[in-house]
Structure 1
């Protein structure tokens, strides 16, 4: 019973982690630029004369599915969708650089350019700020342009350029805030060749039908592992009854 109960308990923990990941993905099927969380299972065998038969399981969110989501045309000048694997650089809560695919940008009351999560968007010289009253737009190469409404025929003024980073060749990890960071610390280099699609937004790459199937499978697996606990109890009681036989 001892070997069976530990194996079943390990499996139950893995199933609970998997269900939380599936629930998070399902909750973000409509989140702009969301990347589906991926779960990695690692078998862990305890070494020893009497322990090596125990094959436990360790599960952890290791990364995200970086496949591109579908593009939706909005016509809004501050909406952008990154092309290819480019990531938009924003300022995280701790003041450090972080990266996202969420491109629903707005201008705050203080003139700071922010994305839909309220994170300041980084440019070539730090967080981007725009002068009040101007009409802000984003060019395909990431330039932030401001046009004076008083002179609509005049060419727009360049304020800054979005820092579009490339993760190629660098390991990144996804945090609990949904932002990507360089594994172990550091920043990603800017990609001057990166492009965006103005007036469009990239949708979540989570497929609702697949997530529903995963949820059903996870629930059934959890039920099976729960029954193993009951089986272990029955085996233990039967063994104890045999020991009492005189």
Structure 2
């Protein structure tokens, strides 16, 4: 019965993590580029009750007697499925169609990756720079901040579907410039380290970043100007997952209550 108490407790703790994960998904349902998270579990150690199991006639059964000791959370995995594209009133809101990620330079000088394309033109010492909501500059295919030419009229800058910036010539015909927004893919995006501000960082689990412009074997992503990628959280699915987690939590709680009542009865036994 003591094993039942600890097993039930492990189940309640794990389901609490599930609830935390679902709550985070709900909280970010309107966050551009957010990728839903799912808690994953594995069973804990098993205790061998009987190494040889026989029936009433002494015949050996093809099983052994083992009792588990509960469950634990092995990880919280992000699902990088495509979110729907929603039209925006800002021309510098960019949405990715494909597996690519934008690159930005954070305040510590490290390269971070994001699917949140809510960008703005920031005016700084170097001139007009394309940056995210936190002021981190967006990087081009060479890993350098995107700085607009000082002679450009920013309102006339356009972009093609592969992130190439276009600017009209003397005849008002859009011409491709030497600036292209950099897109990066990872072999295992689920291994990226999640940080605040919809940012991800490279880890050994994610693998090295693969620039789409340098890896022709990668399926090239497309950029849609004037759109934002919505989160891939499905409300109906999360509500169902919430109900399942609640019921599992209740069942583990009832198992603990039942074990407690049995222990109480055992303690009250008298000769």
Identify whether the pair has TM-score above 0.5, normalized to the shorter chain: yes
Shift of 1:234: 0.6
Change (3 A) 1:237 1:225: same
**How do 1:82-121 residues align onto structure 2 when only pairs under 5 Å count?**
82-110=96-124, 111-116=128-133, 118-121=135-138
Give me the whole-angstrom Cα distance separating, in 1, the residues matched to 2:223 and 2:133: 17
* TM-score (structure 2 length as normaliser): 0.77
Q: What's 1:141 paired with?
A: 162
Aligned equivalent of 2:212, options 169, 182, 191: 191
Bigger drift between 100-109 and 158-167 goes to 158-167
Q: What's 1:222 paired with?
A: 249
Q: Which runs of 4+ in 1 moved over 4 A?
A: 46-50, 145-148, 154-157
The answer to whether 1:41 aligns with 2:60 is no
The answer to whether 1:210 aligns with 2:224 is no
Shift of 1:156: 5.9
Aligned equivalent of 2:194, options 159, 175, 191: 175
Give me the whole-angstrom Cα distance separating, in 2, the residues matched to 1:64 and 1:125: 25
Structure 1 alignment gaps of length 5 or more: none
* TM-score (structure 1 length as normaliser): 0.84
Bigger drift between 197-206 and 165-174 goes to 165-174
Aligned length: 241
Shift of 1:202: 1.2
Give me the whole-angstrom Cα distance separating, in 1, the residues matched to 2:189 and 2:37: 18
Shift of 1:66: 1.4
